[in-house]
Structure 1
Amino acid sequence: MNSIAVIGAGITGVTTAYELMQRGFAVTVYDRNRYAAMDTSFANGGQLSASNAEVWNHPATIAKGLKWLLRPDAPLSLSLAPSWHKYSWLAGFIGNIPNYRTNTIETARLAVAARQRMRDIAEAERIAFDRDDRGILHVYASASEMAHARRVSDLLAAGGVERSELDADAVRRLEPRLKGDFLGGFHTPGDATGDIHLFATGLAAACVRQGASFRMGSEIVDCRTGRDGVAIRYRDAGGALRQSSHAAVVVCAGVGSRALARGLGDRLNVYPVKGYSITVNLTDEASRAAAPQLSLLDDAAKIVTSRLGPDRFRVAGTAEFAGTNRDIRDCRIRPLVAWVNRCFPGVSTRQVVPWAGLRPMMPSMMPRVGPGSRSGVFYNTGHGHLGWTLSAATAELVARSVEAHFGSARVTGHAGKAA
């Protein structure tokens, strides 16, 4: 029996499990949390954004990072504490600047492919997740930002992303609630928004209905390959040390993927880049009316927004390089609240829920998808800030890779639905 282990029950893990089941594999998902989607897939910006496919490996990113180095509230924050992992990652990031164009186009292509697959899955499994298909509006405050956005649009178009340029009046017409001095923007009608946590937990429930096993509260001790497949040692929710065997493993463990890959013979330079969000509870009619209906990306502030149903407004941003620290820092939350107060003054920020999560980023800004160096080992991880945007496409890719590895062999049980 071809039993596949998936390590990680975030958005990439549950989507991978789903795609494997559609191909007839028995699937067991392991996660250290009690429930699915409790880490980076809990409260991100909510955007399914092919329009945000531009990789960060650009000289302008380095220049901005240096300018913001000593500002605790800057959109990008770099801890100066010495760390070989951090500095080796940054060296790899700089080394990928020549790949900026190629990687941006390829990321856009993946994001466009993921759009339709995600919609197909949501429809097939009847997953409700506050989805909104009115697109995403990027806004810019200066001529230099607009000029860069036009160059990015050319790259996105090469990857299949359609978006239209707007002047300041057109921006106001599209989202009249937005305050501020914006020169213009771009609207991407094919993009969407929604609640990643609702989608991921809904898909995990669909996997269970189709026969998947979820071993939640399981802390992986080690993962080893052998002639008979892959052996996983883990501590269960009660603390007991257990071992299980599988024909193959797909590592979807976010920032934990690096340590697992090392034990499986691979170097996976995933670094945890912390992002923050606030969820503004719209508790009064005035706030509900004043909050934007359309999803936004403010390029200068590096802030994204999503309207999650009638009563919630999600605002997210910042990139913090500080290791695996998950603390929620007030100096990172205050700029998000201040942005809401400035751009949507009619929205009450009395009830704001802060959150922080660790984005698993590769130096190239491209996810690691496919087989490892050892037989029976596969990866679907390192998606950075585009985990939800890309997950439906990369899950298909890794599932096809597993399928090719096993050829025509199939399990006889837990087959799920036909693809």
Structure 2
Amino acid sequence: MRVVVLGSGVIGVASAWYLAQEGHEVVVVDRQPEPAMETSFANAGQISPGYSAPWAAPGVPLKAIKWMMQDLAPLRVKPSLDPVMLGWLARMLGNCTQKAYARNKARMLRIAEYSRDCLIELRQETGIEYDNRAKGLIQLFRSEKQLAASADDIRILESCGVRYESLNVDQILQHEPALQHVRDKLVGGLRLPGDETGDCFMFTQRLAERCRELGVEFRFNTHIHKLQVEQDKITGVETDAGLVRGDAYLVAMGSYSPELLSPLGIKAPIYPVKGFSLTIPITDASRAPESTVMDETYKVAVSRLGDRIRVGGTAELTGFDLSTPDSRRANVEFVVNDLFPGSGDPSSVELWTGLRPMTPDGTPILGRTSYQGLYLNTGHGTLGWTMSMGSARYISDIICGKTPAIDTEGLAISRYNR
């Protein structure tokens, strides 16, 4: 079978890998000159199944209002009458109940835990290196209120069989000794020992090379215009380099997926949530993180990637605007300087911004569509790196007619039609 994969981020490349492993002829199409040049380029570096949770949660509407008043707010919403954004926000607010949160988090954990296992298997099989560390993630609490609120997440972790450790400050310092310089700012933490860190860009580039060895064809610098349809069947992809035909078509275009699907009447509720990251060369390793810490107050992650620190976080709802205002840089810069002062060279900071394809319930959209031959692997939000390998293996099984290793409940786009 000939499968056309649209998108060469980590999701698309990982999908191509599994499909090629099954013996299929695979063509990957992307407008960029090489893999992982957009959302996969400089994310926070977390492979964090244990931290997988929807943004739509009880109490978030009130928190969002408070964040609007803060200088270092985790979330900013640009006032707009954009009906797409307003519709997406309405759906997200509809998921801010305890019942919806528990359901959506369980779905996300199902994919993320499976994905981590797939990544470990791939690493053992190929020996691929990507500045990876398997030392867990620590969610840092600066207040007793945050510590108490973590009980709800712990109950869900327990119900899904996810390992965790509740830590006092001394125990946090055993895993992250550099935090001893700021121990008075912490009250406790939640450690997820199964979580990892790694450079998503490096991983995707190296996996793409292995895909080429299996015969995968990459067509870069190729703009995708539309899907060609005859009755209820996809018959090709129209690009600026001509028509690309296959037997099956996989959309893995992140935030740009809805634009391609909408003319077919497929309404994928994915909205671009802009995030920011800083990459800082380490100058004093004793003051740098050992793995990843997530500052629960500012929703910013600080990760160790080889001889660099990656700081990522914050969110803006501003459509497809890729500008990098100084106010958002200040947010992530503050956290790394507050928790790990003196760890890196501030004069050599690299700033990046990207669009995370977020669904209103947090769960990605995986599986078949109503059109014959058309499949989706998109909408992973902030967890594309975390869920990449599991999502790719899952969709490869679906395309190949196999029964996936995890439950399919609630993962397809059909969940929005109920």
Q: TM-score higher than 0.5 here?
A: yes
Most deviating of 68-77 and 356-365:
68-77
CA contact (8 A) 2:227 2:234 kept: no
1:335 deviation in Å?
2.0
- What CA deviation, in whole Å up to 9, does each residue of 1:353-408 have, x standing for no partner? 11111000111111000001111000000000010111111111111111119xxx
Change (3 A) 1:83 1:70: farther
Q: Secondary structure at the match of 2:351?
A: strand
SS in 2 for 1:177: helix
Aligned mates of 1:150, 1:162 — CA distance in 2 = 14
Aligned equivalents of 1:306 and 1:123: distance in 2?
Answer: 23
Letter in 2 for 1:232: V
Contact 1:304 1:316 in 2 (8 A): yes
Counterpart contact for 2:2–2:26, Cα < 8 Å: yes
CA distance in 1, matches of 2:122, 2:49: 18
Residue of 378, 386, 391 corresponding to 1:389: 386
CA contact (8 A) 2:17 2:207 kept: yes
Q: Match for residue 405 of structure 2?
A: none
1:34-62 Cα shifts (integer Å, max 9, x gaps): 01000010000101101211211113221
CA contact (8 A) 1:48 1:192 kept: yes
Pairing partner for 2:362 from 357, 362, 365: 365
Specify the code of the residue in structure 1 equivalent to 2:325. R
In the alignment, what sits opposite 1:343? Answer: 339
Q: Which amino acid aligns with 1:313?
A: I
Give the length in aligned residue pairs: 395
**Structure 1 residue 401 and structure 2 residue 398: aligned?**
yes
Q: What is the aligned partner in structure 2 of residue 35 from structure 1?
A: 34
For each residue in 1:222-270, what CA deviation from the matched residue of structure 2 results, as whole angstroms up to 9, or x when unmatched?
112337752111114xxxxx11211110000001100111133311011
Q: Which moved more, 1:117-126 or 1:164-173?
A: 117-126
- The alignment partner of 1:346 has SS state of coil
Give the partner amino acid of 1:319.
A
Aligned-pair distance for 1:122? Answer: 2.6
Contact 1:127/1:202, CA 8 A, preserved across alignment:
yes
Indicate the residue corresponding to 2:407 in structure 1.
none
Task: Give how far 1:288 is off.
Answer: 2.4
> Given that residues 248 and 377 in structure 1 are in contact (C-alpha distance below 8 angstroms), is that contact kept between their aligned partners in structure 2?
yes
- Aligned-residue offset at 1:71: 4.2
Equivalent in the alignment of 1:226: 230
How far is the alpha carbon of 1:156 from its aligned partner? 1.8
User: For residues 115 and 376 of structure 2, what CA distance do their matches in structure 1 show?
Assistant: 17
Are 2:287 and 1:290 aligned?
A: yes
Q: Deviations over 1:260-316 (max 9, x none)?
A: 11133311011000110100112x3xx22211113101101111111011x200011
**Structure 1: 5+ residue stretches without partners:** 237-241, 406-419
- Secondary structure of the 1:274 match is strand
Structure 2 CA distance, aligned partners of 1:137 and 1:70? Answer: 27
Matching residue of 1:277: 277
The amino acid that maps onto 1:342 is: D
2:316 is aligned with 1:320:
yes
Q: Distance in 1 between matches of 2:80 and 2:56?
A: 22
Q: Distance in 1 between matches of 2:13 and 2:45?
A: 17
- Equivalent positions of 1:117-132 (< 5 A) are 117-132=118-133
Report what 1:76 is aligned to: 75
**Match of residue 257 from structure 2:** 257
TM-score (norm 1): 0.91
Deviating more after overlay: 143-152 vs 361-370: 143-152
Q: Which residue of 2 aligns with 1:148?
A: 149
More divergent stretch after superposition (369-378 vs 160-169): 160-169
Instruction: Give 1:157 deviation, angstroms.
Output: 2.3
357 and 72 in structure 1: CA distance in 2 versus 1, 3 angstrom threshold: farther
- Corresponding position: 1:186 with 2:190: yes
| Residues 327, 278 of structure 1: alpha-carbon distance in 2 compared, 3 angstrom cutoff | same
Write the distance in 1 (CA, Å) between the matches of 2:15 and 2:63: 36
Instruction: Give the direction of change, closer, same or farther, for the CA distance of 1:229–1:91 in structure 2 (3 Å limit).
Output: closer
Q: Which residue of the partner structure matches residue 139 of structure 1?
A: 140
Which range is displaced more, 331-340 or 81-90?
A: 331-340
Contact 2:60 2:96 in 1 (8 A): no
Deviations 1:203-230 (A, max 9, x none): 1111111001100111101112337752
* Equivalent position SS for 1:97: coil
Greater CA deviation, 77-86 or 377-386?
Answer: 77-86
CA distance in 2, matches of 1:158, 1:189: 17
Identity of aligned residues (%): 33
For residues 14-25 of structure 1, what are the structure 2 equivalents within 5 Å? 14-25=13-24
Structural mapping, 1:49-128, within 5 Å: 49-71=48-70, 73-98=72-97, 99-128=100-129
Residue aligning to 2:412: none
Which of 303, 308, 320 aligns to 2:305? It is 308
Specify the SS of the correspondent of 1:328.
coil
Asked if structure 2 preserves the Cα contact closer than 8 Å seen for 1:140 and 1:184, the reply is yes
2:408 corresponds to: none
Amino acid at match of 1:100: Y
Q: 1:205 and 2:201 equivalent? A: no
Q: Distance in 2 between matches of 1:187 and 1:334?
A: 27
Q: Which whole-Å CA distance do the structure 1 matches of 2:210 and 2:94 have between them?
A: 41
Q: Is the 8 A contact 1:278 1:355 kept in 2?
A: yes
Question: Which of structure 1's runs of 4+ aligned residues deviate more than 4 A?
Answer: none
Letter in 2 for 1:145: Q
What does 1:403-418 align with in structure 2 at a 5 Å threshold?
A: 403-404=400-401
Q: SS at the partner of 1:350?
A: helix
Give secondary structure in 1 for the equivalent of 2:269.
coil
Distance 1:215 1:264 in 2: 24
Partner of 2:411: none
Give the TM-score normalised by the residue count of structure 2. 0.91
Q: Which residue of 1 aligns with 2:327?
A: 331
Q: Do the aligned residues in 2 keep the contact of 1:72 with 1:332 (CA within 8 Å)?
A: no
